[in-house]
Amino acid sequence: MTKIGILGISGRMGRLLAEEVSTAGATLAGGTARRGEQWPADPRALARVSDVLIDFTTAEAAEPHLQAALEARKPLILGTSGLNGAQEAALAEAGRDIPIVYAANFSPGVNLLLAVAERLAAGLPPESYDAEIVETHHRQKIDAPSGTAIALGRAVAAGRGTTLEEAGIESGRDGHTGPRKTGAIGFAALRAGQVVGEHTLLFASGSEHIALTHRSFERRVYATGAVRAALWAVRQPPGLYGMKHVLGMG
Ligand SMILES: NC(=O)C1=CN([C@@H]2O[C@H](COP(=O)(O)OP(=O)(O)OC[C@H]3O[C@@H](n4cnc5c(N)ncnc54)[C@H](OP(=O)(O)O)[C@@H]3O)[C@@H](O)[C@H]2O)C=CC1
Ligand SMILES: O=C(O)C1=N[C@H](C(=O)O)C[C@H](O)C1
């Protein structure tokens, strides 16, 4: 049985991941947490006794976790959001040595939505159709825009044959912003109550709107996907993969 180690096992996602490991017929190798009260805080020790690691923690913690996976030569499933460019570049580098599945969202629905977003963007010229992404999450979420919102923005940019950085980002508009920049991709983030995760992608021209909305009603959908990715990753050669590869959409 595959031994799965969970980095961040005390968290909202970590607790569900621990349940999903046994549901999927795998073994829980152990877990870590920041405070180390119930669980130890040493990712290296966990990596040594695990066949594969799953990380749902913070961007700050993701770096030492990546090092632990690299040192132990164990696959890593990374669901943590809020990584910066340098941290994402380090993942690409590490993918030369170990299998890594890095996904902003492990739900099947969101990964299909990403594919549809890219397709739609390819057919809707940016001169006529403004792309706006609105996301809503629970009040505890510490990063914005969400990883999924950024992934949607990247999908739109890819469909338009460019990158998010080149297209331009308009985020958190406030005050005298001036008119919208043609081709820019807009982001708005709401934090309210205990919303699990909602994302809407809007394409709006002067004469029509297309709005695509995904709502998660329970976090378990992410946990199930991440454990599925872990069982897939142990059979893969080194590489940086996404959930689309796990789902056979790559
Ligand atoms: N890709 C996807 O599908 C999804 C991604 N996420 C992302 O997963 C991450 C975690 O979300 P969530 O479970 O809600 O967060 P929580 O705050 O509930 O849990 C965070 C976990 O990480 C641990 N942790 C925090 N800081 C450190 C640190 N410096 N070193 C080691 N461990 C640390 C915490 O330990 P302690 O309890 O001791 O503080 C806790 O176990 C977020 O980035 C979120 O955006 C969430 C859902 C789906
Ligand atoms: O923090 C969360 O809760 C979530 N984070 C991920 C993100 O940033 O997109 C995935 C999901 O939306 C839930």
Q: Is 203 in the pocket of ligand 1 (CB under 6 A)?
A: no
Q: What are the Cα distances from residue 100, in Å, to 2, 191, 245?
A: 16, 30, 11
pLDDT tens, 54-90?
Answer: 999 999 999 999 999 999 999 999 999 999 999 999 9
Separation of alpha carbons 229 and 248, rounded Å = 11
Tell how strand 52-55 and strand 76-78 pair up: parallel
Do residues 114 and 159 make contact, with C-beta atoms less than 8 angstroms apart?
no
Q: Is 54 helix (H, G, I), strand (E, B) or coil?
A: strand
Query: Which residues in 66-79 are b (16+ Cβ under 10 Å) and which e?
Result: bebbbebebbbbbb
User: Domain map of the chain by residue range?
Assistant: 3-106+219-246, 108-216
Q: Is 211 helix (H, G, I), strand (E, B) or coil?
A: strand
Residue 243, annotated as binding a ligand: no
Q: What angle do CA 79, 107, 49 make, to 5 degrees?
A: 40
What residues form DSSP beta bridges with 3?
27
pLDDT tens, 130-183?
Answer: 999 999 999 999 999 999 999 999 999 999 999 999 999 999 999 999 999 999
The CATH number of 108-216 is 3.30.360.10
How far is the centre of ligand 2, averaged over its atoms, from the C-alpha of 178 (Å)? 31
What homologous superfamily does CATH list for 3-106+219-246? NAD(P)-binding Rossmann-like Domain (3.40.50.720)
pLDDT tens, 219-233?
Answer: 999 999 999 999 999
Asked if 3-106+219-246 and 108-216 have one fold, the answer is no
**Complex ipTM > 0.95:** yes
Q: Is 57 in the pocket of ligand 1 (CB under 6 A)?
A: yes
Residues 6+ apart with CB under 8 A from 146: 81, 104, 135, 137, 189, 197, 199
**Which residues are tagged catalytic?**
137, 141
Do residues 103 and 242 make contact, with C-beta atoms less than 8 angstroms apart?
yes
Task: Name the residue of 12, 55, 81 whose CB sits within 8 Å of the most ligand 2 atoms, as the mutation to test its pocket.
Answer: 81
Q: What is the DSSP letter of 101?
A: E
How far is the centre of ligand 1, averaged over its atoms, from the C-alpha of 64 (Å)? 14
Residue 8, annotated as binding a ligand: yes
Ligand 1, atom 45, residue with closest C-alpha: 81
